Structures are given as C-alpha cells and as structure tokens.
A and B are shown apart, each in its own frame.
Chain A
Amino acid sequence: MNNVEIKNAKVLIGGKFEKTAVYICDGKITFSKPKGKHDVIDAAGALVLPSLFDIHTHLRCPGQEYKEDLDSVTKAAVHGGYTDISSMPNTSPPADNEALINYIKLEGAVFKRCRIHPFGTLTLGSKGERLSRMGLMKKAGAVGVTDDGKCISNGTIMMRAMEYANTHGLFIMDHAEDHDISANGVLNEGVVSEKLGLTGIPEIAETIVIKRDIEISRYLNIPMHITHVSTKRGAELILAAKKDGIKITFDVTPHHLAFTDEDCLSFDTNFKVNPPLRLDSDRTFLIDLIKKGLIDAIGTDHAPHADFEKEYPFDRAPFGISSLDTAFCLLYATLTVENKIPLEKWIGLISSAPRKLLGLRPSELEEGQRANIFIFHPKNEWKVDRKTIYSKGKNTPLQGKKIKGEVLYTFNNGKMVYPF
C-alpha cells in the first residue's frame, strides 16, 4: 500500500483546524514527511476529519437483503465518511444469539470497508418476554443490547433485562415508545396529522417511556441510553435526570434536526420515520442542545427500504430514512451552514462520543494513530439521486435534491476505502 500525502487541506487536530499537510504512512497518521515515494492528494479547500462512527444502523441483513446488504451498507457508510457502524439487531431472524453476532462480524469484514459493531437483542426475538443470550453475544463481539424497533412494555421484563445486561457490562439502548399510545400512528400528532387525516403519534408515546426508563435506571442504578429522542419534552426529562445524577444518556438523529412534521404535508413517504418528525419547536430545541454541548451522540437510524415499499400510501409505507450516505452532509448543512455551529463543536458526536459510550478504544486524528480519516469538501455541491447514493435504500428526503458539502475520500486503517 502506498503512502499518501494530503496537502493544502485544513486538518482537525485536537479540536482545532490547522492548515498543514498530513501523511498516511504504513496505515498511520504522521505530520512529518515520510521518506520515499508517496501519492499526493491535493485537497485545497477541503477538510481532513476523523472518520465517523454510527451508533444506530439498520443493516437489514440477514433476512432482508432486498432492502440492504453488507456490500451496499458498507459502501454507503464509507461514502458518508463512516468507518464504523453499530448494527441494530432487529433483523430477520433477530440477532438474539452469538451465531448471528458472529455472522455479522465475519460477513461484514469481507468487504474490508468499515467495521461493524453489532448490537444484540435484550429479549429473545425482541419479543419482550424472555431474555436473549446476552453473555454469549458479548463474548462473540456484541457491543450492546437493545430491542430497537420495539420497546419492552412490561416493566418487570425491562428491569430484569437491564440487570442481566449489566451483569455482563453491556451497553443498554432503549427505543422509547409506548406502542399502545402510538398504536396505528404514522406521523407526529398535531395540526399536520389532523389536516391530513392521518393517525398521529403523540409526543407522550415517547416521553412516557423516557420517564419510566429514567425511574428504572435510577432505581436499579444501571446506566441506560435512550436512542433517537425526538421531542423537546423528552430531552428535558433526560437533562433533568442527569442533573439528579441518574446515569442516562441519549442521542438524536440528523433527520430530527433537519426536518419537521410539516414536511409530511406532501404525503412524501420518505419523511415517514419512527419516531416521527416533530414540530419546529422540538427541532430547534434539540439544535440548541447541540450548541450547548448537552447531547451525548448523534445516530443516523439508517433504515433503508425498497422502492416499492415506500411507494405504498403514507399510512401503509414502512417507517425509516436511508441515511448513511448523506447524514454528515445533512448535519453539516443543518448545524454548521444553517445554525452556525462550528463543525469542530459537533463532529465528536458522530466520531469520538459513540466510541466512548460503547467503551471502545478512541480513534483520534493524532500523530501515530491509525489513519481513520475522511476528506470533506464543504463547498462542493452534488445531487442526491439513485446513482449517487450507494445504499440500496433510496428512501431519503434528499432524493433528487442538491446538497452542498461532499465526502471526497475515506480512509480506514490507512487504506482508501472511498472512492471505491
């Protein structure tokens, strides 16, 4: 493998941008020019950044390869600047045993693009009844447990699952949703749902479970992570709990920062996602928390679907946004361009923070570290369409739109994994 010089770029080192050449030498980062021949990348106007880590990716495999497979998802990841993704276990069958964890780790490594850090389920088959083999899954390489996609409604089961997971030191993630309240809802309950005659998902479907989870976490004294918090109220509850010393963390998604339920007014099923897009007041509140540094991570909730599924009417189409290809660009447009939050203030939420939450080794852009980096040009404009995104799921609200900011190169362990 050739050594590489990246010149004329601004490099994010220790939280600050510096105009310096950076070299990839034997897979590692160095700032001093290595001897001998090397390739040169002229990255004028671009930024060199630590590669990204997604804490919430729906792989769809095994079982739903028509939506996404390991080839397409790893392409989408590195195209988006991600070299690490955490897979959700709600596959078919669900990843509730060590064999499936092994499968994901082994098969995912075949493409040599990015690492996959699998989550296992909390309960067998994500049914919320019996516990899954969390210990053996951890041994096989599971980084955490969650029944994401669903929520354990039985408080006793939830408490036991948490106690057992904690026995094995597993990271516990909860998808906070009261399914009896969200019921047949398909978008946020509010003026928009009433106008469209579609059944709404009230804010309280999320907040009531967050409140329960906080109490369980407090009572058991076991840390818990709430994923994809979508409401202002939900975030407020968590922040208050943190103040009380309860070990609770949370992440938000790029789409909840960028879009609102009003985007559903056109009945575009690419905006149908669970938890649903909320009000602008929720959106701006979450952005404000990022400004204040009060959010623990940003996870994509990458949820690819086949075209024909998203062509169903709004009330029948599946929930989900295909996100990995565009998540960073959307965040950049939303947080930095629109809300003037400097990139260096939030990029940690999708690089170092998730690693830390999951207890993984840090991967910084520092002299001597493995070269897990990507090059991003903030001014390049590109059109999001079926050909320019690599996920099999073309279900992104950005479909057909132009977006400013483009990932030019992604390096994993010093190896260029994007462009392919």
Chain B
Amino acid sequence: MRKHLITLDDLSKEQIISILEQGKAFKEILSRPIKKIPTLRGKTIGLLFFEPSTRTKLSFELAAKRMSADIVNFSASTSSLKKNESIKDTVMTLDAMKIDIYVVRHPSPGVPYIIADHIKGSVINAGDGAHSHPTQAILDLYTMWERFGSIKGLNVTIVGDVKYSRVVRSDISGLLKMGANITLCTPKTLLPRYVIDSRVRHTFDMKKAVKDADVIMGLRMQKERQDSGIIPDEVEYNHFFGLKSHLLEHASKDVMIMHPGPINRGIEIDGEVADSKNSVINEQVTNGLATRMSIFYHFVEN
C-alpha cells in the first residue's frame, strides 16, 4: 500500500511510537565504523526542493545515502516554475524516472498533495509553506522521548514565531497526540488569531512560560517580520521574548532547550543558552538523521 507523510495527521499515535522506537536502531547505526546499511539498495529517492534549504536537504540526503538508496536531486526556484511549467508537468517528468520516495519542500502549502496525485511513489513532506513539516516534528518528539522515556504529561513551552511556522503546526499536532502540555509564548502579532487547539495555552510572560517547563523550544525569528510591522525590532523582541540564561532559573534544572535551527544568537536565543548543557540543539541534528532513516524505512513502498 502506498503511503504518504504530508502532515502528522497521516500517522496514528501507534505509528509515531513505532517510528520513534525504531529510530533508536537507526541511531545505533550512525555510531558504527561503517555507517551504511543495505536496506534501500535499488530504491531511488527524489529530493524535490523548490525552495532553498541546506539543513533539511542535507539530513534527508545523508539519511538516504546511509541506507544505500540512489538519490535524484531536483532543485528549482519557484520563479522559473511560476512562468509556465506547472508542478504537475514537472512531477510527471520525474515520475517517468521511477522514483520510490519523493522528499518535497515547497513554499506553498498543499503542494505535496498535488505531487502525490501525479506520481506512483510515496511523498514525504520536507516542509510546505507554513503548513506542515512532519519530519521535524518527529525528530523533536524523538529527542524528548529519548530523554524522558515518554512524552505524556511533559510541559513543553514554545517561544517565538508561532503564526508563520510550519514546525510549530506539526509539533503541536504531534505533541497533542502524544499527550504533552503545550504553552506558547509570543506577542499577539505572532500568535494565530484563531486557536489551533483549545488545549494549547499561551502567555505573553516569559517567566510564566518557562516555569515548570521540561522542554523549551525556541523558533527562528525572521527578519522580514519587522518590515511588515509584526514586531518593532530585534532589540525589543529579544528583551521580551528572547531565551536568556537568567530565565532558566525559573525552569526545572534539567530543562531541555531545543531549536529547529538555524539559530539567531542574541535574538530569539542567547549564546549562553544555546551552548549550555541544557541545550540539545546539536543532538537534534543527529536525531533528525536517525528518525528520517526510520521514516524512509516505514514509508518505502514494496
């Protein structure tokens, strides 16, 4: 049966647990002298990046290589596509190359669905606009699950640009599925006007937000937000919503600091916090690789 991973709604709680549990086996592979397994030999993975991305693309590419898959790269700026070639035409050309898994990144929400409609393989969403980024959510869940053994009942605080973040949309969906308590901390202009889910709390006070948090997740603050009148500037943003070391005194001692990267030091997170022993930002990168391998294993079609 053909399966796609476009949002976390495509996965049941049990399937998420299965990916997390098996992620451990894949993480072990990454510590071997020869970090390569033959599992996807003969399979072809297409990396369709319609938007520049370094980290996510590298992670997927390496995950595919570690599993011995062949890789086809297709990168296109949307401007050239916009002219006349439709996504449908592009993808139908690619499908003639018999690709088993398409990893898709596109600035427009919903594009992975269009692609899924026109191909024979599976689609894994590597981020579509502000809609969804399920593999990032899985790696975040994995990082929490590995540390705490369970996600149920964890207090997770998410700080920053919630409104325009696909990572947050997917994280919230995954965390709620797994039974975590979520608190958002961000100015009203960066908070969706309509509630994503009534179980999600929010506050405008960082001290309250970090209190009793097991996990604090920072989000990248885009520079354009000032230009469109959403926040005044970086100085004011950092003053009220920056993740600073003195705030950690209010959090639990072992609080885990996460960030999907790349980080803006001094804006949404201070260098001391990013480099502190509480920070798992680099661990997240390794976990991203392991969980993406686990996802490939789950989603490759026979």
Q: Tell me, yes or no, whether A and B come into direct contact in the complex with CB atoms closer than 8 A.
A: yes
Complex contact A191–B194 (CB within 8 A): yes
Complex contact B88–A315 (CB within 8 A): no
**Interface pairs (30), CB distance under 8 Å:** A189-B193, A190-B194, A191-B194, A194-B192, A194-B193, A194-B196, A195-B169, A196-B131, A197-B109, A197-B131, A197-B132, A197-B169, A198-B110, A198-B131, A266-B113, A267-B110, A267-B113, A311-B88, A312-B87, A313-B87, A313-B106, A313-B110, A313-B111, A313-B114, A314-B110, A315-B108, A315-B109, A315-B129, A316-B82, A316-B108
Instruction: Give 7 new A-B contacts, CB below 8 A, not counting A189-B193, A198-B130, A315-B108.
Output: A191-B194, A195-B169, A197-B129, A200-B193, A308-B86, A311-B87, A316-B108
CA of A266 to CA of B109 in the docked complex: distance in angstroms?
11
B-side contacts of A202, CB under 8 Å: 193
- Say whether B259 faces chain A, with CB atoms less than 8 Å apart: no
Chain A, Cβ-Cβ closest to B82: A316
CA of A190 to CA of B86 in the docked complex: distance in angstroms?
29
- Say whether B105 faces chain A, with CB atoms less than 8 Å apart: no
CA of A190 to CA of B193 in the docked complex: distance in angstroms?
8
- Say whether B34 faces chain A, with CB atoms less than 8 Å apart: no
Q: Mark A243-269, 1 if CB is under 8 A from B, else 0.
A: 000000000000000000000001100
CA of A198 to CA of B88 in the docked complex: distance in angstroms?
21
B-side contacts of A189, CB under 8 Å: 193-194
CA of A311 to CA of B115 in the docked complex: distance in angstroms?
11
CA of A316 to CA of B128 in the docked complex: distance in angstroms?
13
B-side contacts of A194, CB under 8 Å: 192-196
B-side contacts of A196, CB under 8 Å: 109-110, 131
> Which secondary structure dominates chain B's binding surface?
loop
Complex contact B195–A198 (CB within 8 A): no
Q: Which of A278-315 contact B (CB under 8 A)?
A: 308, 311-315
B-side contacts of A311, CB under 8 Å: 86-88, 114
Q: Which of A171-207 contact B (CB under 8 A)?
A: 189-191, 193-198, 200, 202
CA of A308 to CA of B132 in the docked complex: distance in angstroms?
25
For residue A373, give the distance in angstroms from its CB to the closest CB of chain B. Answer: 42
- Say whether B292 faces chain A, with CB atoms less than 8 Å apart: no
For residue A67, give the distance in angstroms from its CB to the closest CB of chain B. Answer: 15
Complex contact B166–A197 (CB within 8 A): yes
Complex contact A195–B196 (CB within 8 A): yes
CA of A70 to CA of B109 in the docked complex: distance in angstroms?
35
CA of A200 to CA of B132 in the docked complex: distance in angstroms?
17
A-side contacts of B113, CB under 8 Å: 266-267
CA of A197 to CA of B172 in the docked complex: distance in angstroms?
13
Complex contact A198–B109 (CB within 8 A): yes
CA of A315 to CA of B169 in the docked complex: distance in angstroms?
18
CA of A267 to CA of B109 in the docked complex: distance in angstroms?
8
> Which secondary structure dominates chain A's binding surface?
loop
A-side contacts of B131, CB under 8 Å: 196-198
CA of A197 to CA of B82 in the docked complex: distance in angstroms?
20
CA of A315 to CA of B110 in the docked complex: distance in angstroms?
9
CA of A202 to CA of B194 in the docked complex: distance in angstroms?
11
B-side contacts of A312, CB under 8 Å: 86-87
A-side contacts of B130, CB under 8 Å: 197-198
For residue B95, give the distance in angstroms from its CB to the closest CB of chain A. Answer: 16
Query: Which of A's residues lie within 8 Å of B, judged by CB?
Result: 189-191, 193-198, 200, 202, 266-267, 308, 311-316
For residue A39, give the distance in angstroms from its CB to the closest CB of chain B. Answer: 47
A-side contacts of B128, CB under 8 Å: 197
For residue A249, give the distance in angstroms from its CB to the closest CB of chain B. Answer: 31
Chain B, Cβ-Cβ closest to A186: B109
CA of A79 to CA of B131 in the docked complex: distance in angstroms?
40
A-side contacts of B129, CB under 8 Å: 197-198, 315
A-side contacts of B86, CB under 8 Å: 308, 311-312
Q: Mark B117-150, 1 if CB is under 8 A from A, else 0.
A: 0000000000011111000000000000000000
Q: Which of B62-106 contact A (CB under 8 A)?
A: 82, 84, 86-88, 106
Complex contact B195–A191 (CB within 8 A): yes
CA of A192 to CA of B114 in the docked complex: distance in angstroms?
19
CA of A107 to CA of B70 in the docked complex: distance in angstroms?
59
> Which of A190, A266, A308, A313 is close to B108, meaning CB atoms less than 8 Å apart?
A313
B-side contacts of A314, CB under 8 Å: 108-110
CA of A191 to CA of B193 in the docked complex: distance in angstroms?
9
CA of A313 to CA of B111 in the docked complex: distance in angstroms?
6
A-side contacts of B109, CB under 8 Å: 196-198, 267, 313-315
B-side contacts of A267, CB under 8 Å: 109-110, 113-114
For residue A337, give the distance in angstroms from its CB to the closest CB of chain B. Answer: 31
CA of A315 to CA of B84 in the docked complex: distance in angstroms?
16
Chain A, Cβ-Cβ closest to B168: A197
Chain B, Cβ-Cβ closest to A309: B86
CA of A267 to CA of B194 in the docked complex: distance in angstroms?
19
CA of A394 to CA of B178 in the docked complex: distance in angstroms?
43
Chain B, Cβ-Cβ closest to A264: B110
Q: Mark B193-222, 1 if CB is under 8 A from A, else 0.
A: 111100000000000000000000000000
For residue A369, give the distance in angstroms from its CB to the closest CB of chain B. Answer: 49
B-side contacts of A193, CB under 8 Å: 194
CA of A189 to CA of B193 in the docked complex: distance in angstroms?
8
CA of A316 to CA of B82 in the docked complex: distance in angstroms?
9
For residue B182, give the distance in angstroms from its CB to the closest CB of chain A. Answer: 15
Chain A, Cβ-Cβ closest to B106: A313
Chain A, Cβ-Cβ closest to B114: A313
B-side contacts of A198, CB under 8 Å: 109-110, 129-131
CA of A408 to CA of B295 in the docked complex: distance in angstroms?
55
CA of A316 to CA of B129 in the docked complex: distance in angstroms?
12
